[in-house]
A and B are shown apart, each in its own frame.
Chain A
């Protein structure tokens, strides 16, 4: 223990006053001990996987590797294989459509609900917190009921549509509509998250702004465009960017509803990576796909961090 202390040559900490026994180094050491388990955990369970994933994407890493311990280097072969596969274009297209559709749907409906619940009326608080329920349920549990709701023959959605004369839609079995169905479910799942964030943002807009605006004749739509929207902009950006990052990694909804089918029409980068690694046991190719996925996330992560920093600066 004491050798460890002596070995440390950390810079002294400004905040700590010299203590009667021990001294600055011991104090710093004790403080680091609080953080040490978290640092170790983050390095092992976030840092290592990212690096390992990068390394694996340049290796032939298959079930054989588990027996022989050998994973030969193959350079960019995994990436070439993945990008040249016939459905890579479809997968990327699906990923973009799934993300765009989900985000637009969640955000627009979420904003409308948040604006609605901002008004005070009896039970508004209780209704708003019950609205969080879809966000808290296990996603695979919600997915299971949606699979039955969307069922072509026995599903309640087609029964309802049938009442207004719309023929049975093969929601999950036709390549033409499966992606729309999956987006629909993801929009439903994402609305509570959007409402929670946007409602929080709306609460931070001071009432005086509206009072002053009302004197200048800014009410209704005018008040929204000139007061609400500009004030809400930073929260909007954070909501959208986080929404994109979380949507890009969605796996459970798609696997549960369609398994990426029919005919790859709902295959995304996340599900493709899963199938390559855990169904075909081609971990190298799976890692390559998920690194491409990370690249997409990274772009939005940068936007997020920039906005976050700007907010902190202001």
Chain B
């Protein structure tokens, strides 16, 4: 089954590349068309023979504010998610609390609740609290994408920490919080990074809360910037797809730079689409 003779494996690699090329064609097409900015072509060339960056110029002139909003919202979501999820994951992994199972069950169910249900209710709640069209509002809402996932990912790691590790510190007189801060968090660094990266990507990709909880041009995430293009009659695809490429950069960069953490998250992907 695991034959390693080159005669068998080279065709496999070729087939693998073909599969990948097929799957990533839309990504290629996104980049390709984004570089064909000149004029209003009725169709796109197979390759950007004369790369033209006017699509990017236009995208940046229209979307810079939205990009900034997305960056702030995503970073805020990461901070909020880690602040809530890391202590919770530790408690679930290491403490014997009555009713713990009920909470874990609730987390599992929470991930299945359709976003539109949450959006329906948050709209009326945020309307009363003045959180519509605000960055804090989006951060609070986007964390629903991230918190259950982050808790489950970090809990899976922290469950393997030897209790003796924390006990040693506590015998030395450190309180629960100091032990957590100075021992548990540092040794759990990798799972924290995985949780943070995915929280960032979830918030960055958020569409439903951007769509329902913002209606102004002042606070508008990049995903909604793209949707606005699609809603109208697209005259020129280069700026649209240039915006799509820019909005895809975090995912692409993280997949290349932080592959180890993404792979760890993908395995935990059993609990999140």
Interface positions of A (Cβ within 8 A of B): 10-11, 13-15, 28, 30-35, 37-39, 41-42, 45-50, 52-53, 56, 61, 65-66, 113, 116-117, 119-124, 127, 129-149, 153-156, 159, 188, 190-193, 196-197, 200, 207, 210, 238, 242-243, 245-246, 248-249, 251-252, 255-256, 259, 270, 273-274, 277-278, 283, 286-287, 290-291, 293-294, 297, 301, 304-305, 308
Q: Beyond A46-B144, A141-B248, is A132–B266 a contact (Cβ under 8 Å)? A: yes
Q: How many angstroms from the CA of A121 to the CA of B82 in the assembled complex?
A: 38
Which of A46, A65, A138, A197: most chain B CB closer than 10 A? A138
Interchain CB contact (< 8 A) of A196 among B148, B243, B266? B266
Q: Beyond A124-B16, A197-B269, is A136–B262 a contact (Cβ under 8 Å)? A: yes
Stretch at the interface among B24-32, B50-58, B187-195: B24-32
**Chain B: which residue is nearest A13 at the CB level?**
B96
Query: 10 A-B contacts, Cβ less than 8 Å apart?
Result: A34-B180, A131-B19, A133-B251, A134-B26, A140-B230, A145-B29, A155-B43, A207-B1, A249-B114, A273-B116
**Does the CB pair B252–A133 fall under 8 Å?**
yes
Interface of chain A, helix or strand or loop or mixed? helix
Q: How many angstroms from the CA of A245 to the CA of B115 in the assembled complex?
A: 12
Q: Does B127 reach chain A (CB closer than 8 Å)?
A: yes
**Does the CB pair A49–B121 fall under 8 Å?**
yes
**Does the CB pair A274–B116 fall under 8 Å?**
yes
**Chain B: which residue is nearest A145 at the CB level?**
B30
Distance (Å) between the CB of A281 and the closest chain B CB? 10
Q: How many angstroms from the CA of A39 to the CA of B124 in the assembled complex?
A: 22
Q: Does B120 reach chain A (CB closer than 8 Å)?
A: yes
Q: Does B13 reach chain A (CB closer than 8 Å)?
A: yes
Which of B4, B12, B16: most chain A CB closer than 10 A? B16
Q: How many angstroms from the CA of A134 to the CA of B2 in the assembled complex?
A: 28
A10 CB contacts on chain B under 8 angstroms: 98
> CB-CB contacts of B164-180 with A at 8 A, as 1s and 0s?
00000000000111001
Q: Does B182 reach chain A (CB closer than 8 Å)?
A: no
Distance (Å) between the CB of A208 and the closest chain B CB? 12
**Chain A: which residue is nearest B108 at the CB level?**
A305
Q: How many angstroms from the CA of A49 to the CA of B144 in the assembled complex?
A: 11
> CB-CB contacts of B247-273 with A at 8 A, as 1s and 0s?
110011011000100110011011101
**Does the CB pair A130–B24 fall under 8 Å?**
yes
Distance (Å) between the CB of A250 and the closest chain B CB? 9
Q: Beyond A15-B96, A34-B95, is A49–B2 a contact (Cβ under 8 Å)? A: no
Q: Beyond A14-B96, A116-B19, A193-B273, is A153–B114 a contact (Cβ under 8 Å)? A: no
Q: How many angstroms from the CA of A47 to the CA of B105 in the assembled complex?
A: 13
Q: How many angstroms from the CA of A286 to the CA of B273 in the assembled complex?
A: 24
Q: Beyond A133-B27, A143-B230, is A48–B115 a contact (Cβ under 8 Å)? A: no
**Does the CB pair B176–A149 fall under 8 Å?**
no
Interface of chain B, helix or strand or loop or mixed? helix
**Does the CB pair B23–A191 fall under 8 Å?**
yes
Distance (Å) between the CB of B167 and the closest chain A CB? 9
Interface positions of B (Cβ within 8 A of A): 1-2, 4, 8-10, 12-13, 15-17, 19-20, 23-24, 26-27, 29-30, 33, 41-44, 83-85, 87-88, 90-92, 95-98, 103, 105-110, 112-125, 127, 140-141, 143-144, 147-148, 151, 175-177, 180, 201, 204-205, 207-208, 211-212, 222-223, 226-227, 229-231, 234, 237, 240-241, 243-245, 247-248, 251-252, 254-255, 259, 262-263, 266-267, 269-271, 273
**Does the CB pair B23–A156 fall under 8 Å?**
no
Q: How many angstroms from the CA of A232 to the CA of B143 in the assembled complex?
A: 33
Q: How many angstroms from the CA of A180 to the CA of B24 in the assembled complex?
A: 20
Q: Beyond A53-B117, A200-B267, is A11–B98 a contact (Cβ under 8 Å)? A: yes
**Does the CB pair A129–B114 fall under 8 Å?**
no
**Does the CB pair A294–B273 fall under 8 Å?**
no
B106 CB contacts on chain A under 8 angstroms: 42, 46-47
Q: How many angstroms from the CA of A21 to the CA of B205 in the assembled complex?
A: 48
**Does the CB pair A39–B117 fall under 8 Å?**
no
Interchain CB contact (< 8 A) of B114 among A11, A131, A190, A290? A290
B273 CB contacts on chain A under 8 angstroms: 190, 193, 242-243, 246
Q: Beyond A123-B13, A138-B247, A146-B26, is A156–B44 a contact (Cβ under 8 Å)? A: yes
Q: Considering the complex of A and B, which 9 residue pairs feature the smallest CB-CB distances, nearest first?
A: A38-B88, A49-B121, A249-B114, A34-B91, A121-B12, A136-B251, A138-B205, A246-B273, A141-B244
